[in-house]
Amino acid sequence: MSNTTDPRLQAWISHIFDHPVAEDIRKAWYWAEDAPTWEGTWEDVPTLIAERFERSWELLEEFSDAALDQGFWFLVGSSPEDFRDSLLDSRIPMSARVRAIASFTPLFEQVMVARCSENLSHLDAEASVLNGSCYMWWDLLWYALRHDLEDLPIASEIHAALRRQLTMPHDACRESALHGIGHWVKTFPDMAHLVDEFLAANPGIRPELVAYAAQAKIGRVL
């Protein structure tokens, strides 16, 4: 375990990532009837998300790509506790929830850029093991939050995080943001201008990414 003085954070990281990796994600540890549950305080979850991802390079470096991928799918896609709900919980300070969303930027900068291949997941099934969770990150969050996102500071931070991600010099991360925009634009149509900004700032990107951006702008992504 990484050297950190906060036992809550150590326990949180272990709960998400420190498990044997299943060859079939459908048989991952968290689907077992006797899977361990999070024993910490629910109100701490957004802060723990932020504290971990703000220091992704340090706190996650010991885990393999496969262990990280399994943990990311658990966190944003499959968690029985549905940790994503903590981002909408009005009992938790708004500042903590916005900080959690903002921490996705260092996660992508420090982990996804370093470990993902630059393959485009919507075209290439042979990308690196982390590309799948990278690609689906904002899609899964949209699916969980789209009907209840009345907290404007959180909506604004999602908008800002997607804009920041589009500036990262890595095609898989930019594809992830475009994929997210392709879903979030259905909830927030003004996000379409992020695609225009991206294309204007990157005239030399590969044609496949340009084509995908056009689909994302009108909400036609899978």
Tokens 């949209």 -> residue? 142
Q: What is the pLDDT of residues 146-162, one digit of tens each?
A: 877 776 899 999 999 99
Res 2: pLDDT: 47
- Torsion over CA: 102, 104, 107, 109 (sign): negative
Nearest partner of 75 among 87, 84, 85, 86, judged by Cα: 84
Residues 174-187: what's their mean pLDDT?
96
Q: Quick one: tokens of 69?
A: 């991928």
The pLDDT mean for the chain works out to: 92
| The pLDDT value given to residue 147 | 78
pTM beyond 0.85: the answer is: yes
pLDDT at position 16 over 50: yes
Of the listed ranges 15-19, 37-41, 108-112, the one predicted with least confidence: 37-41
Is the model's pLDDT at 196 over the cut of 70?
yes
In the chain, where the domains are located: 7-18+37-170
State residue 193's pLDDT score: 97
Average pLDDT on 9-15 reads 94
Over residues 100-108, the mean pLDDT reads: 98
